[in-house]
């Protein structure tokens, strides 16, 4: 009995001193659908469905022939499959604290882009536009993984951000 | 009669036939299938040199005014890594010599022709052009 108690204490102590990520707490569930990962990651970072509410995914995946100026069309069965995956794993359904914050910040609206989600805009407000557009290693605010070093695995913590280039990118 | 010898022979045959099926390259299949398709649509001969010239020829996008060509994303060296013109995402080399799974999937090939010809030329590529491109890419 005493030994079990001691082991439990050690385990509890050990888990408390580990950073949140090591405890298995992703910010946003990583992509785990092969078709989605392959098709939606062929030209850009495969954005996790939890980055947007399902109403936004309906809009975006429903207009792939004009996808932000490009033709990203897929066959009807493939389109249906990725729509299903995206809407079933969207912000309001993903279940992580960060996804819930995204969902509640849109207040029922359906942003056309991830970079228009109020929560995401707020989180980046201290950065000057030059951190993105005029930074050749980042190019655009949509390029999450240029700075969020573990974005592909679902981690977006500020502590892991590394903005390429040496300049001071903060708004003064 | 089921002897040890006959069993050994049977298993050797099984292994050999399995090995043969594994080693058949899919690559020859996809390109050949598409070329026959284009022939049935009236193309008589394919020209890799014409494709090579077309690869770097720029076309103006009517909406943005941007000058576009295949080489804009894929570069003019198909063994090199390319880069998406808008997102900056790296694109694996197109040459099957550099990336063996290139030109092995008909569905993939047709999808990218549909999207990328539309991006550059504002129309679909003709069967002649597609056949030319396939031969050109295969030879790089």
Residue A56 lies in a domain: yes
DSSP string, B90-112: EE----TTTSTTTT--HHHHHHH
Residue A119 lies in a domain: yes
- B84 interaction partners in chain A (CB closer than 8 Å): 43-44
Q: Which of A37, A43, A140 to mutate to test the interface with B (most CBs of B within 10 A)?
A: A43
**Model confidence at A18, in pLDDT bands (50, 70, 90)?**
very low
> Residue B76 in contact with residue B117, Cβ under 8 Å?
no
**Model confidence at A27, in pLDDT bands (50, 70, 90)?**
very high
B91 - beta bridge partners? B82
Closest residue of chain A to B90, computed from CA coordinates: A43
Residue B35 lies in a domain: yes
Task: Please tell me which of the candidates A72, A74, A143 has its beta carbon nearest to residue B88.
Answer: A143
Closest residue of chain B to A136, computed from CA coordinates: B88
Q: What is the nearest CA distance from A137 to chain B, expressed in angstroms?
A: 9
- Cα–Cα separations (whole angstroms), residue B127 to A49, A74, A102, A162, B46: 37, 20, 47, 47, 10
- B64 interaction partners in chain A (CB closer than 8 Å): 69
**CATH at residue B35:** 1.10.760.10
- What values do phi and psi take at B59, rounded to 5? -125, 150
The answer on pLDDT for B39 being more than 90 is: yes
Count structural domains, chain B: 1
For residue A117, count CB atoms less than 10 angstroms from its CB and return exposed for 0-12, middle for 13-18, buried for 19 or more.
buried
Q: What is the ipTM of this complex?
A: 0.70
Residue A60 lies in a domain: yes
Report the mean per-residue pLDDT for chain A: 87
Residue A117 lies in a domain: yes
**pTM higher than 0.90:** no
Look up the domain containing B44 and give its range: 26-139
Query: Residue B51: which residues within 8 A CB-CB, separation 6 or more?
Result: B129, B132, B133, B135, B136, B137
> Residue B3 in contact with residue B11, Cβ under 8 Å?
no
Residue B67 lies in a domain: yes
Residue A5 lies in a domain: no
Count structural domains, chain A: 1
Residue B19 lies in a domain: no
Look up the domain containing A85 and give its range: 26-160
Residue B73 lies in a domain: yes
């Amino acid at each position: 009995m005493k030994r079990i108690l001691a082991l439990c204490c050690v385990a509890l102590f050990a888990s408390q001193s580990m950073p949140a990520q090591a405890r298995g707490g992703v910010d946003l569930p990583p992509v785990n659908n092969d078709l989605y990962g392959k098709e939606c990651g062929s030209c850009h970072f495969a954005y996790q469905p939890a980055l947007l509410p399902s109403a936004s995914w309906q809009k975006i995946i429903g207009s792939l022939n004009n996808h932000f100026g490009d033709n990203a069309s897929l066959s009807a069965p493939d389109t249906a499959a990725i729509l299903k995956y995206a809407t079933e794993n969207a912000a309001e359904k993903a279940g992580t604290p960060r996804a819930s914050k995204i969902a509640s910040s849109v207040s029922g609206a359906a942003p056309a882009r991830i970079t228009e989600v109020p929560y995401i805009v707020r989180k980046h407000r201290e950065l000057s536009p030059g951190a993105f557009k005029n930074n050749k290693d980042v190019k655009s605010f949509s390029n999450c993984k240029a700075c969020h070093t573990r974005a592909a695995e679902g981690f977006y913590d500020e502590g892991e951000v590394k903005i390429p280039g040496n300049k001071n990118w903060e708004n003064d | 009669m089921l002897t040890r010898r006959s069993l050994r022979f049977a298993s050797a045959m099984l292994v050999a036939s399995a090995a043969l099926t594994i080693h058949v390259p899919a690559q020859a299949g996809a390109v050949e299938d598409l070329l026959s398709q284009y022939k049935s649509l009236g193309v008589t001969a394919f020209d890799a040199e014409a494709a090579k010239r077309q690869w770097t020829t720029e076309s103006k996008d009517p909406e943005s005014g941007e000058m576009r060509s295949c080489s804009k994303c894929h570069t003019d060296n198909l063994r090199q890594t390319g880069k998406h013109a808008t997102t900056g995402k790296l694109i694996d080399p197109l040459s099957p010599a550099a990336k063996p799974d290139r030109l092995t999937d008909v569905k993939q090939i047709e999808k990218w022709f549909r999207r990328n010809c539309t991006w550059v030329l504002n129309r679909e590529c003709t069967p002649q052009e597609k056949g030319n491109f396939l031969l050109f890419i295969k030879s790089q």
